[in-house]
Structure 1
């Protein structure tokens, strides 16, 4: 790939990795607070639980204080987006490499399209059984599905590229 494309891919790779790290840290901190009872504040007669910023009394998150919401409406989305950005960073890392068409790189693309095709709708349906799902989330699921379809076709192109590359290596 051209130097400019590799540079752009490297920047997006780093941004995606940082976002994944932020999601994992926020998830870890929030779970720590919710499990230990530290850095939380309960208000509105126990209806709202606030996770506070570290070493302060300022709310970081205000959450409904019931388990289905905490698990399905807060923890699960944070966890899924942490893995989403981790998988996305691996996809962009592929485009920083000198050799694109490898089985390892194809696996990164396949994982990313599988995450986008098969997780959003089932997770949204599961969550809708226990909590109210805003309409925007259904649209976001559709965006992820479309992204999954696009990456699926890109993965198919990579698979063909691997096949052509292997054929060429046999002739040399």
Structure 2
């Protein structure tokens, strides 16, 4: 059973109570998914952060290239932005951010040589420097596939 196949029913069953940010963790075959979401229902989540940990990561550059190729369910495709071998980190970002007027939004995936990966979405503006993390909506199916795409 793939990570996606074992995660999908857990996401459908997850019913966080109350307002605010909620978290869930799922482990299968030495891979762990930690999801933090602002909202969740029977079909989708408003994701704040998706963290995936694998105990057997590929070499950092190879892992990053594979994630960029496999992760096809996001609004924008991912591309390898930077590999810092000294820090043991790689950064993938949206190939081109989504634009709405002066606002830009893009995904960022940080991969760590120890097997940790974190997916976030950021919002920025052409007029103002800086960026702000924002929640992003994913169906459970796309979320489970993304976790599997990252874990390899």
**Normalised-by-shorter TM-score class:** under 0.3
* Structure showing the higher helix proportion among its residues: 1
* Structure showing the higher strand proportion among its residues: 2
Provide the TM-score with structure 2 as the length reference.
Answer: 0.27
Provide the TM-score with structure 1 as the length reference.
Answer: 0.24
Larger radius of gyration: 1
